[in-house]
Amino acid sequence: MSGKFVLAQISDTHVRADDSGEAARKLRCALKQARQYQADVILLTGDLVNDERPEEYAALKHALADPPAPLFLMPGNHDDRDLIRRTFPEHDYLPREGFLSYAIEHFPIRVVALDQIVPGETHGLLTPPQADWLDRTLSAGPDRPTLLALHHPPFLTHDVLFDRIGLLDAGLLAPVVAKHRQVMRVICGHHHRVAIGQIAHAPVIVAPSTSWVYGLALSDEQPIAPVTPEQTGWMLHVWTESGGFASHFMGI
C-alpha cells in the first residue's frame, strides 16, 4: 500500500430478489469503479438489502463475490443482524452476538463502525452503553487517524422525513467525538443523497445510494422523499498523512 489510502464507501444498495437484479447490477458497477480507483478498502454503510429476506442476502453475497479490496459490512435499518452473520460467516470481524460494531486496525486509517440500528424501526438510536463503547474504542487508538462510520446521519439535514427517521439521541455522539481529535471524518448513509455536515470538529459526509436518489423536502409543502432522476453513486474517500482526507462523489 502506498502513502495514499483510498476507501470506497458504498451505501444503501437495497439488493432485492424481485427487481430483475437491477440493485445488484448497480452494486457490481460501483465495485468495478472501486477497482479502477485502486481502493484499499470497501465499506458498505448499511441498508444492504431491501426487505431483510434470506434470498436477498444470498443475492447480495453473489454480487459481492471477488471484491477488488478487503470488504467490510455494516447494518442499516433495512438489515437483519443475524442474517448478516449467517450469510457472511467468513467476515470474522463481525461480533458473534449483539451489535455489529467493530474497529479495523490494520490500515493507515483506523476504521470504527458504530451499529446504532433499532430492529423493526427506520430511525437509529444511540444509547449510553453504545456511546461508552465508542469512547472506549476511540481511547484505544488516540494517535491513529480515524474514520468513524455509522448508518444514520448524526446531524440535522433539515429534510422533513429524514430528520424524523434519523439518529435519535444523536446528542450523545458529539461529546464523544469532541474528546477524540483523531476522528478526522464521520461517514454515513440512509439519506439516499449526498449531504455534508459536522459533528464537533469532524466533517460528516452522507453517501448517496447506489439504487435510487431521494429528493429534498425542506417543508411539508414539498414532496416528501420523492424518487428523483438524479444520478446514483457512491463516495471515494482519499487520505494522505500530509493532506488529510478528500471525499469525492462517484456517479454510476
The whole-number pLDDT of residue 19 equals 85
C-alpha closest to that of 118 among 148, 149, 150: 150
Which residues are CB-neighbours of 42 under 8 A, at least 6 positions away? 7, 8, 10, 31, 34, 67, 68, 69, 70, 71, 72
Radius of gyration of the chain (CA): 17
Nearest-angstrom CA–CA distance, 109 and 125 = 26
The one-digit pLDDT tens for each residue of the chain (252 residues) are 568 999 999 999 999 988 899 999 999 999 999 999 999 999 999 999 999 999 999 999 999 999 999 999 999 999 999 999 999 999 999 999 999 999 999 999 999 999 999 999 999 999 999 999 999 999 999 999 999 999 999 999 999 999 999 999 999 999 999 999 999 999 999 999 999 999 999 999 999 999 999 999 999 999 999 999 999 999 999 999 999 999 999 999
Nearest-angstrom CA–CA distance, 99 and 115 = 6
The whole-number pLDDT of residue 1 equals 52
Q: For residue 38, how many C-alpha atoms fall within 13 Å in the half-sphere facing its CB?
A: 5
- Please classify residue 106 by burial: count the beta carbons closer than 10 Å to its beta carbon, then call 0-12 exposed, 13-18 middle and 19+ buried: exposed
What is the domain partition of the chain in residue ranges? Answer: 4-251
DSSP string across 113-162? E---B-TT-SSEE--HHHHHHHHHHHHT-TTS-EEEE-SS-SS----HHH
Whole-structure pTM value: 0.96
Helix axes 54-63, 22-36, angle to 10 degrees: 30
C-alpha closest to that of 100 among 130, 141, 58, 68: 130
C-alpha closest to that of 184 among 200, 164, 168, 195: 200
C-alpha cell belonging to residue 63: 454480487
Of the candidate CATH numbers 3.60.21.10, 3.40.50.720, 3.40.50.1100, 3.10.20.30, the domain formed by 4-251 belongs to: 3.60.21.10
The whole-number pLDDT of residue 2 equals 61
The whole-number pLDDT of residue 164 equals 95
The whole-number pLDDT of residue 3 equals 85
